[in-house]
């Protein structure tokens, strides 16, 4: 028996598809429904490693958590990881299969993957009561419709009803809703069941006449109006958001436990990946996190983080061009803390041999850690567990660089030299005991009277946030009508809205 399904599309990128999908998933699982997320194709530098060693988008991992299930490669069969303006690494069923230009991908490769994504979705639907799918960008991207596998392409192939989300905070939501439907073919329009308004501020009664007119123009109803809530976008695909500080704690931010705050500066390097690593720092009372791109902005930082990147050599050159490399060297000489994660760890080493990513051969690193890096064709995808600073640590690794440590003190899989730390482990700061121990070391080196809170649980904060997403759906959407869509598909007889897709 095939389970129900729904595709959450959007009028634009960042309309709220990821969080609405997660909210519907959490609402359904609280009703006792066995539910899974799905995104046929994701373009993101924020990724995660499943227990089976497959790489998928972090948004789908977060949605799996909303469903209270383990993430798998079936939930995101195609992941594109940009490596520049015109090319991306293609990750298929969790494993990299090569680099491809946008023209080459949309010129034929993408459409050949449709069978694979349809099979993955069918396997999920055979296992779960419902599968909530997320689209990408807009379903009305008429230049890409012929090869589409993530919006109407998958909806048509799997006969999924489509809910279109619009961000009213941006303005123009009625035109966006109408135009999205009107630019689809009659066959695609048959599956577009209706709309969901996201990020509404004010009195809903003032919006209702417009919703009635939209229904009259399109024959499609609005399934809910979600109010604006600060920072519900956890595990963003592409945006620069450190959300947990002002969002999970929607109430007044807890004051610092100690007398001082701790200031963290994150170098906003090119092709930055998995910057969600610092969300766990931002969740701590008294820790202030900001992204920086000038050396002057490092001056008052107690900790500088050099995050992961899909372009290690390019990021290294950028740090030198901006004067940030010299600022990092001065910090190290003064005994002021620096943490490098994955690509950032590689940058802090002595040299890099790269015939894979940039194909630049040997490149000198910053020389702040006794580490030599060689890029291997195979990608390391693991979920390591270990100990550091006397505490248990869990993480995940996603990298081509193989590090040889020649000195310093052991630190996870990397090392520590004085006040400079480096590791390939993403997600390590989500381990509460380790994070607190690390912050105590940072505070001591920085001379700050900062004390980490004894009761901050990153996992609990994330669960609270997912529950808030579920609450939004439960309280502000027509959940009975949503379930009918999931169970029975789009209503029959939906009218055609001219002009339709161009020939």
The CA distance from 249 to 265, in Å, is 21
Per-residue buried b or exposed e for 366-391, using 16+ beta carbons within 10 Å of the residue's own CB: bebbebbbbbeeebbbebbebebbee
Instruction: Give which of 276, 282, 269, 250 is closest to 346, Cα–Cα.
Output: 269
Instruction: Give which of 358, 441, 437, 429 is closest to 394, Cα–Cα.
Output: 429
The CA distance from 499 to 75, in Å, is 34
Under 8 Å between Cβ of 223 and 196:
yes
Residue from 120, 342, 400, 415 carrying the catalytic annotation: 342
Q: Hey, is 279 helix, strand or coil?
A: helix
Q: Hey, is 207 helix, strand or coil?
A: helix
Q: Hey, is 229 helix, strand or coil?
A: coil
State the CB neighbour count (10 A cutoff) for residue 268. Answer: 19
Under 8 Å between Cβ of 395 and 419:
no
Write out the H or E segment, with its range, that includes residue 21.
Answer: helix 17-30
Residue from 399, 400, 424, 426 carrying the catalytic annotation: 426
**Is 215 a catalytic site residue?**
no
**Is 426 a catalytic site residue?**
yes
Q: Hey, is 181 helix, strand or coil?
A: helix
The CA distance from 439 to 385, in Å, is 20
Nearby residues of 503 by Cβ (< 8 Å), 6 or more positions away: none
| Residue 53, phi-psi category: left (phi > 0), alpha (psi -120 to 50), beta (remainder) | left
Would you give the DSSP letter of residue 157? Answer: H
Instruction: Give which of 459, 497, 479, 349 is closest to 414, Cα–Cα.
Output: 349
Q: Catalytic amino acids?
A: 342, 426
């Amino acid at each position: 028996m095939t389970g129900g399904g729904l595709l959450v599309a959007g009028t634009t990128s960042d309309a709220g598809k990821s969080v609405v999908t997660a909210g519907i998933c959490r609402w359904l699982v609280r009703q006792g429904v066995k539910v899974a997320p799905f995104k046929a194709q994701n373009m993101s530098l924020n990724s995660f490693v499943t227990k089976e060693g497959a790489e998928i988008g972090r948004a789908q991992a977060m949605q799996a958590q909303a469903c209270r299930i383990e993430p798998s490669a079936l939930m995101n069969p195609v992941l594109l990881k940009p490596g520049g303006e015109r090319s991306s690494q293609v990750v298929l069923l969790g494993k990299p299969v090569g680099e491809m230009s946008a023209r080459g991908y949309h010129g034929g490769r993408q459409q050949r993957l449709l069978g694979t994504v349809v099979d993955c979705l069918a396997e999920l639907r055979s296992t779960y009561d419902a599968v909530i799918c997320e689209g990408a960008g807009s379903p009305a991207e008429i230049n890409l419709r012929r090869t589409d596998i993530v919006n109407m392409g998958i909806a048509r192939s799997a006969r999924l009803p489509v809910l279109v989300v619009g961000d009213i905070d941006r303005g123009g939501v009625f035109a966006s809703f109408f135009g999205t439907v009107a630019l689809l073919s009659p066959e695609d329009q048959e599956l577009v069941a209706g709309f969901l308004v996201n990020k509404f501020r004010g009195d809903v009664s003032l919006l209702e006449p417009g919703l009635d007119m939209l229904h009259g123009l399109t024959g499609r109803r609005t399934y809910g109006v979600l109010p604006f809530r600060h920072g519900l976008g956890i595990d963003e695909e592409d945006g620069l958001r450190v959300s947990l500080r002002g969002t999970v704690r929607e109430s007044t931010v807890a004051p610092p436990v100690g007398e001082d705050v701790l200031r963290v500066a994150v170098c906003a390097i090119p092709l930055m990946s998995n910057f969600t690593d610092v969300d766990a720092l931002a969740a701590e009372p008294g820790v202030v996190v900001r992204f920086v791109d000038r050396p002057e902005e490092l001056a008052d930082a107690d900790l500088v983080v050099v995050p992961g990147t899909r372009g290690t050599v390019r990021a290294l050159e950028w740090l030198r061009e901006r004067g940030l490399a010299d600022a990092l060297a001065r910090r190290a000489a003064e005994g002021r803390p620096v943490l490098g994660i994955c690509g950032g760890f590689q940058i802090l080493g002595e040299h890099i041999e790269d015939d894979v990513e940039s194909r630049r051969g040997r490149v000198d690193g910053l020389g702040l850690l006794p580490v030599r890096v060689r890029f291997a064709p195979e990608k390391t995808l693991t979920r390591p567990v270990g100990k550091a600073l006397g505490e248990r640590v869990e993480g995940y690794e996603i990298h081509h660089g193989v590090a040889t440590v020649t000195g310093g003190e052991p630190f996870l899989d990397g090392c520590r030299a004085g006040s400079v730390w480096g590791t390939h482990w993403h997600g390590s700061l989500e381990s509460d005991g380790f994070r607190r121990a690390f912050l105590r070391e940072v505070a001591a080196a920085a001379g700050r009277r900062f004390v980490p809170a004894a009761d901050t649980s990153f996992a609990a904060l994330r669960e609270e946030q997912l529950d808030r997403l579920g609450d939004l759906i439960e309280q502000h959407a027509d959940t009975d009508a949503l379930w009918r869509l999931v169970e029975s598909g789009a209503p029959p007889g939906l009218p055609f809205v001219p002009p339709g897709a161009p020939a």
